[in-house]
Amino acid sequence: MDIDRLYRLYGPMVLRRCRRLLRDEDQALDATQDVFTQLRQHRDRLKDQYPSSLLFRMATNHCLNRLRQGRGNLQQNRVPEDVADKLVHQVALCKELEARSLLDLIFRRQKEGTRAMAILHYLDGMTLEETAREVGLSVSGVRKRLNALRRTVQGLEEAK
């Protein structure tokens, strides 16, 4: 696994993700560095088949852990601006097992990479074209995956 190449290719994406979740430039820069440090430390155990998905998941988990732990009082000072941010904030504050169970239930039947697409499009506000470019799929491929995800979530809501 060529960490330097992955940093050049995906560093900006990881930084955008960290900025979006942490809403603090210094914290986002630190978190980005932490993600790539973790990647270097665990490179022997990780597969780089889908590096953008892996790095998005790592960045999201790291930032949610920072929010959960309240590093730099982010948890108290951060006020979610929109519904998607409120959802991320709630997931960050809920018990890890509850969040994992819900996310596993939602993404269990989705294809690899769908989680990264959902984060890019719904949480980071990227267009379908930007999301497709970021994950290396066509716009119609991204649209199909997100529609399938939407149907899964609607099915769960209806089952309540």
Query: Going residue by residue through the chain (160 aa), what tens digit of pLDDT does each one get?
Result: 788 888 998 999 999 999 988 888 999 999 999 999 998 888 777 766 678 888 888 898 898 888 877 644 444 444 445 544 555 555 555 555 555 576 777 777 778 788 888 877 877 777 899 888 888 889 999 999 988 888 887 777 676 6
pTM higher than the cut 0.95: no
Contact in structure between 106 and 115 (CB atoms under 8 Å): no
Residue type, position 73, single letter? N
Domain interval for residue 76 = 1-93
Tally of domains within the chain: 2
**Same domain for 105 and 130?**
yes
**Same domain for 124 and 78?**
no
Q: CA-CA distance, 119 to 60, in Å (whole number)?
A: 9
**Same domain for 9 and 66?**
yes
**Same domain for 7 and 85?**
yes
Q: CA-CA distance, 22 to 24, in Å (whole number)?
A: 5
Last residue of a domain, one of 60, 93, 126: 93
Residue 160 is predicted with a pLDDT of: 61
Q: Token pair for residue 45?
A: 């155990």
Other Cβ atoms less than 10 A from the Cβ of 76: the count is: 8
**Same domain for 83 and 44?**
yes
Torsion angle in degrees (nearest 10) through CA of 114, 80, 38, 25: 120
**Same domain for 99 and 85?**
no
Q: CA of 50: how far to CAs of 24, 95, 114, 125, in Å?
A: 28, 28, 11, 21
> Under 8 Å CB-to-CB from 111, ≥6 apart: which residues?
145
Q: CA-CA distance, 77 to 143, in Å (whole number)?
A: 35
Last residue of a domain, one of 48, 69, 93: 93
**Same domain for 130 and 143?**
yes
Nearest C-alpha neighbor of 79 from the set 23, 15, 19: 23
CATH number, domain at 18? Answer: 1.10.1740
Last residue of a domain, one of 47, 63, 93: 93
